[in-house]
Amino acid sequence: MNRFLFSLTCSTLAAWPLLAEEPTKLDPYVVTAPRGDAPLTVTADPKVPAQPLPAHDGADVLKAIPGFSVVRKGGTDGDPVFRGMAGSRVVVALDGQCVLGGCGNRMDPPTAYAFPGAYDRVTILKGPQTVLHGAGNSAAVVLFENDPLRYTTPTASLQSSLVAGSAGRFDALLDARAGRAAGYARVNGTYTRGDDYEDGSGREVHSAYERWSTNAAVAWTPDEHTTIELSGARSDGEAAYADRAMDGVKFDRENLGLKVKREAISDVVRSVEVQLGYNYVDHVMDNYSLRDFTATAMMPARAVSNPARRTLGGRALVQLVPGEAMLLALGVDYQANRHSVRSTSNQTTMPYEAKPRLRDAEFSQWGAFGELTQKVGDEHRLIGGFRLDRWRATDRRSVVALGMAGSAANPTAGQRRSTELPSGFLRYERDLYVMPGTVYVGLGRSERFPDYWELIKNESATTVSAFRTPIEKTVQLDTGLGLRTEKWSLNASLFANRIDDFLLVQSGYTKPAGMMGTRAATITRAVDAETWGGELSANYRLTEHWRVDVTGAYTRGRNRTDGRPLAQIPPLEGRLALAYTQSSWSAGALLRAVARQDRVAVGQGNIVGQDIGTTPGFAVVSLNASWRFRPWARLSAGVDNLFNKTYAEHISRSGAIVAGYEQTTRVNEPGRTLWTRLDVSF
Using CB under 5 A as the binding rule, the residues of this chain from 27 to 86 that contact Cu ion are none
Q: How far is the CB of 98 from Cu ion (least distance, A)?
A: 19
Nearer of residues 341 and 590 to Cu ion, judged by Cβ: 341
Q: Facing residues of 503 across strands?
A: 526
Dist. CA 471–CA 529, nearest whole Å:
14
Let me know the angle formed at the C-alpha of 314 by 311 and 318, rounded to the nearest 5 degrees: 160
The region of 80-88, 99-107, 479-487, 631-639 touching Cu ion under the rule CB under 5 A is 99-107
Nearer of residues 79 and 535 to Cu ion, judged by Cβ: 79
Dist. CA 560–CA 599, nearest whole Å:
14
* Under 8 Å between Cβ of 607 and 109: no
The region of 13-21, 107-115, 314-322, 617-625 touching Cu ion under the rule CB under 5 A is 107-115
Nearer of residues 103 and 529 to Cu ion, judged by Cβ: 103
Please identify which residue in 53, 92, 107, 607 interacts with Cu ion, judged by CB under 5 A.
Answer: 107
Nearer of residues 107 and 648 to Cu ion, judged by Cβ: 107
Q: How far is the CB of 246 from Cu ion (least distance, A)?
A: 6
Task: Give the contacts of 595 (CB within 8 A, at least 6 positions apart).
Answer: 571, 572, 573, 617
Q: How far is the CB of 285 from Cu ion (least distance, A)?
A: 4
Dist. CA 175–CA 160, nearest whole Å:
6
The region of 86-94, 102-110, 335-343, 355-363 touching Cu ion under the rule CB under 5 A is 102-110
Q: How far is the CB of 288 from Cu ion (least distance, A)?
A: 14
Nearer of residues 355 and 375 to Cu ion, judged by Cβ: 355
| Residue 176, CB-side half-sphere exposure with 13 Å CA sphere | 8
Nearer of residues 143 and 285 to Cu ion, judged by Cβ: 285
Helix (H) or strand (E) holding 123: strand 121-126
Nearer of residues 107 and 464 to Cu ion, judged by Cβ: 107
341 is a contact residue toward Cu ion (CB under 5 A): no
Nearer of residues 104 and 533 to Cu ion, judged by Cβ: 104
Strands 140-145, 90-94: parallel, antiparallel or unpaired by DSSP?
parallel
Q: Is 406 helix (H, G, I), strand (E, B) or coil?
A: coil
What are the angstrom distances between the C-alpha of 94 and each of 215, 218, 309, 624? 12, 17, 16, 30
The region of 103-111, 149-157, 309-317, 338-346 touching Cu ion under the rule CB under 5 A is 103-111
What are the angstrom distances between the C-alpha of 280 and each of 42, 191, 443, 521, 537? 29, 20, 36, 30, 38
Instruction: Name the DSSP class of 88.
Output: G
Please identify which residue in 86, 98, 103, 139 interacts with Cu ion, judged by CB under 5 A.
Answer: 103
The region of 98-106, 341-349, 434-442, 670-678 touching Cu ion under the rule CB under 5 A is 98-106
Dist. CA 244–CA 242, nearest whole Å:
6
Q: How far is the CB of 307 from Cu ion (least distance, A)?
A: 7
Q: Facing residues of 400 across strands?
A: 408
Task: Give the contacts of 434 (CB within 8 A, at least 6 positions apart).
Answer: none
* Under 8 Å between Cβ of 575 and 535: no
The region of 96-104, 139-147, 334-342, 345-353 touching Cu ion under the rule CB under 5 A is 96-104
Q: How far is the CB of 454 from Cu ion (least distance, A)?
A: 17
The region of 228-236, 280-288, 494-502, 564-572 touching Cu ion under the rule CB under 5 A is 280-288
* Under 8 Å between Cβ of 108 and 114: no
Dist. CA 632–CA 433, nearest whole Å:
40
Nearer of residues 343 and 626 to Cu ion, judged by Cβ: 343
Q: How far is the CB of 536 from Cu ion (least distance, A)?
A: 37
Q: How far is the CB of 103 from Cu ion (least distance, A)?
A: 3
Dist. CA 208–CA 198, nearest whole Å:
11
Strands 79-82, 155-165: parallel, antiparallel or unpaired by DSSP?
unpaired
Dist. CA 350–CA 445, nearest whole Å:
49
Q: Is 201 helix (H, G, I), strand (E, B) or coil?
A: coil
* Under 8 Å between Cβ of 518 and 510: yes
Q: How far is the CB of 114 from Cu ion (least distance, A)?
A: 17
Q: How far is the CB of 249 from Cu ion (least distance, A)?
A: 9
> Quick count: other Cβ atoms within 10 Å of Cβ 542?
12
Nearer of residues 107 and 579 to Cu ion, judged by Cβ: 107
Q: How far is the CB of 52 from Cu ion (least distance, A)?
A: 26
Nearer of residues 344 and 673 to Cu ion, judged by Cβ: 344
Q: How far is the CB of 492 from Cu ion (least distance, A)?
A: 39
Site string for Cu ion, 522-551 (x = CB under 5 A): ------------------------------
The region of 95-103, 112-120, 227-235, 391-399 touching Cu ion under the rule CB under 5 A is 95-103
Nearer of residues 30 and 303 to Cu ion, judged by Cβ: 303
* Under 8 Å between Cβ of 10 and 162: no
Nearer of residues 360 and 679 to Cu ion, judged by Cβ: 360
Q: What is the DSSP annotation of 14-72?
A: HTTT---SSPPPPP---BSSPEEEETTEEEE-TTS-BSS---SSHHHHHTTSTTEEEE-
Question: Phi first, then psi: what are they for 617, rounded to 5°?
Answer: -75, 170
Q: How far is the CB of 338 from Cu ion (least distance, A)?
A: 18
Q: How far is the CB of 515 from Cu ion (least distance, A)?
A: 33
Q: How far is the CB of 662 from Cu ion (least distance, A)?
A: 24
Helix (H) or strand (E) holding 3: helix 2-14
Nearer of residues 344 and 681 to Cu ion, judged by Cβ: 344
Q: For residue 126, which of 453, 358, 485, 446 has the smallest C-alpha distance?
A: 446
Using CB under 5 A as the binding rule, the residues of this chain from 159 to 198 that contact Cu ion are none
Dist. CA 256–CA 80, nearest whole Å:
25
Q: Facing residues of 188 across strands?
A: 175, 215
The region of 48-56, 198-206, 277-285, 294-302 touching Cu ion under the rule CB under 5 A is 277-285
139 is a contact residue toward Cu ion (CB under 5 A): no
Nearer of residues 142 and 246 to Cu ion, judged by Cβ: 246
> Quick count: other Cβ atoms within 10 Å of Cβ 373?
16
285 is a contact residue toward Cu ion (CB under 5 A): yes
The region of 285-293, 319-327, 393-401, 615-623 touching Cu ion under the rule CB under 5 A is 285-293
The region of 279-287, 370-378, 414-422, 549-557 touching Cu ion under the rule CB under 5 A is 279-287
Give helix then strand counts, H and E, for the chain: 3, 34
Nearer of residues 107 and 141 to Cu ion, judged by Cβ: 107
Q: How far is the CB of 500 from Cu ion (least distance, A)?
A: 32
* Under 8 Å between Cβ of 144 and 153: no
The region of 101-109, 353-361, 457-465, 580-588 touching Cu ion under the rule CB under 5 A is 101-109
CB nearest Cu ion: which residue? 103
- The site for Cu ion, by CB under 5 A, has a size of 3
Q: How far is the CB of 286 from Cu ion (least distance, A)?
A: 9
Nearer of residues 138 and 235 to Cu ion, judged by Cβ: 235
Catalog residues that contact Cu ion under the rule CB under 5 A: 103, 107, 285
